[in-house]
Amino acid sequence: MKARSTCFLLGLGLVGLSMTLPASAQQTPPEQQKQTQQQQSILLASASPEAAPATPATPAVPETATLSTSAPAQDAPAQGTPAPASAPAAAPAAAPTWSIGPIDFEGTIDGYYNLNFNHPLVDGTNDSEQNFLYNFNTPANQFSLNMAKLGMSHMPDPVGFEFDFMYGNTNAIIPHASGFDEYVENAYVSFKPAVAKGIELDFGKFVTSAGAEVIESYSNWNYSRSLLFSWAIPYFHFGLRSTIPVGKKWVVGAQLVNGWNNTIDNNSAKTLGVTAMGTYSKFMINANYYGGPENPGSNSGWKALYDTTLTLTPTAKFNAYINYDYGDDQLYNTFPYTDGTHVHWDGIAGALHFMPTSKWSFTPRLEWFNDPQGFAMLGASLGATASGEFDVNPVPQQVKEFTGTVEYKWLEGLMFRGEYRYDWSTADFFLKGGEPACTGLEHEVALTVGNCPADFGQGNSKNQSTLTFAIIGYFGPKR
């Protein structure tokens, strides 16, 4: 309880700090791009009706056709007659809007080649090499499709919607119900009546408000996702979401959802979300809380997440962020833990984003993640037995990672990224070569917390190094 209160006070402290710093013009940082765009739309809608209307844009002047040499010359103007005013210069061609009527489109094709120096063979075959603790770019030592996405949306006026279809490693990693749900990232309808002064209500499936990164690679500074994104927070929710402008800088909101990562609820209880985001010229702060019973088939226990991200934007060529997460839960009906087991996890990540030119950028990231009961990363420590079933091996550990990413934008909508990443743990967690010792035939029994055999880790490693090269194409009004 003390740790929970401490991290919540940290979020409130950062909110208080944001009220005292000066404001001047600055760009929006990329990793919270979608949330900021939504906030800007809400704030504009809540503006006072007495505000002066914007000046209409001057229509572009058509280019002058080339005259034929055989055409007769125009008569010179009579002496004393003022010369006609020259035509205004043609306006530059507008960037493509990727829209058809009122519907906006966006999408991405994101592929990569990865080299994992551990050559981890999950089931002993070369086609099963996996990057441990990664999200989305998990297949190792091969070319792979990280994500293909096509989305369509309409800003509420007063009714709108968003529907995003995805395919690749990404949709396979994100938890989903059976059937088509696997391929749907967002599917919600929006309602924003004009008399509500910017208040917006959404219903359906939508990505979480927590975290410093998003699902689409091109909207993040690094290519691989952080440990906090992968293991500390949810991906999405299904239910109701509201956003309410407060003044000119803040948007707050409340959510009532099924829970974490479930279109179909795993119990009859619901999870409450509270969000707050403030945007200033030199920084942006995003604080979120999610809490509710999240145990399968039980309304007992309470799963809570406290998430705070402070993004600094001091200049156009240098940005940074700090992200802190704390989560805890009391488990019921959760194998292999006994009912009533209390678990928690926490971590902090920071990244610096340097943009010396319009084409090049460099982003180092460093983070620490603590999983003392092995619960948060439980899904990463599943090992196949000789019978093809899975043993569940909670591995209490602390993990750190360093990532260095270089980005080059060839064209608008096409980029290259090269990335080196090094993860290291307090446990022999990372697979190196063949299977870990505790998933062999002699251990085809249900393993509980703390009784993983003493020889667990033979053939494993406490660290993992990878090198990734990615090409990302993207389009749409939201890029």
Which two structure tokens, joined as six digits, stand for 436?
């870990």
Place of tokens 């990329």: 30
CA distance 181 to 263: 8
Q: Check: CB of residue 405 under 8 Å from CB of residue 222.
A: yes
DSSP conformational letter for 31: G
- Give residue 295's pLDDT band: very low, low, confident or very high (50, 70, 90): very high
For residue 15, is it within any domain?
no
What pLDDT is recorded for position 389? 42
CA distance 292 to 478: 32
pLDDT at 349 over 50: yes
pLDDT at 61 over 70: no
What's the chain's Rg over C-alpha atoms? 26
Q: For position 226, which CATH number holds?
A: 2.40.160.10
Instruction: Report the percent of the chain where pLDDT is more than 70.
Output: 69
pLDDT at 33 over 70: no
In 3-state terms, what secondary structure has residue 177?
A: coil
Choice among 113-127, 207-221, 286-300, 322-336 with the minimum mean pLDDT: 113-127
Distances (CA, A) of 199 to 209, 246, 419, 422: 17, 10, 41, 44
Q: How many domains in the chain?
A: 1
- Give residue 36's pLDDT band: very low, low, confident or very high (50, 70, 90): low
Go through 97-120 and write b for each residue having 16 or more CB atoms within 10 A of its CB, e for each that does not.
ebeeeeebbbbbbbbbebebebeb
The 10s digit of each residue's pLDDT in 232-283 is 999 999 999 999 999 999 999 999 999 999 999 999 999 999 999 999 999 9
- Give residue 460's pLDDT band: very low, low, confident or very high (50, 70, 90): confident
Place of tokens 């499709």: 145
Place of tokens 């002993």: 124
pLDDT at 82 over 80: no
The 10s digit of each residue's pLDDT in 359-398 is 999 999 999 999 999 999 987 755 434 343 445 678 899 9
Q: Check: CB of residue 107 under 8 Å from CB of residue 147.
A: no
CA distance 181 to 262: 10
What pLDDT is recorded for position 122? 67
Most confident among 68-77, 122-131, 373-382 (mean pLDDT):
373-382
For residue 422, is it within any domain?
yes
pLDDT at 200 over 60: yes
The 10s digit of each residue's pLDDT in 89-110 is 454 444 456 888 899 999 999 9
What pLDDT is recorded for position 97? 64
What pLDDT is recorded for position 174? 92
Tell me which residue of 207, 113, 111, 131 sits closest to 162, measured CA to CA.
207
CA distance 428 to 15: 39
Chain center to CA of 446: 35
For residue 96, is it within any domain?
no
Tell me which residue of 221, 226, 228, 290 sits closest to 262, measured CA to CA.
290
For residue 95, is it within any domain?
no
What pLDDT is recorded for position 158? 96
Bridge partner list, 289: 274, 306
CA distance 448 to 159: 50
Which two structure tokens, joined as six digits, stand for 155?
């800003």
Instruction: Report the percent of the chain where pLDDT is more than 90.
Output: 62
Mean pLDDT of the chain: 80
Q: Which domain does 365 fall in, by range?
A: 26-43+108-475
The 10s digit of each residue's pLDDT in 433-452 is 765 545 433 444 444 434 45
Bridge partner list, 107: 150, 475
For residue 193, is it within any domain?
yes
Place of tokens 């750190």: 400
Distances (CA, A) of 464 to 67, 104, 170, 403, 417: 68, 41, 21, 12, 20
The 10s digit of each residue's pLDDT in 153-179 is 999 999 999 999 999 999 989 988 778
Q: Check: CB of residue 425 under 8 Å from CB of residue 398.
A: yes
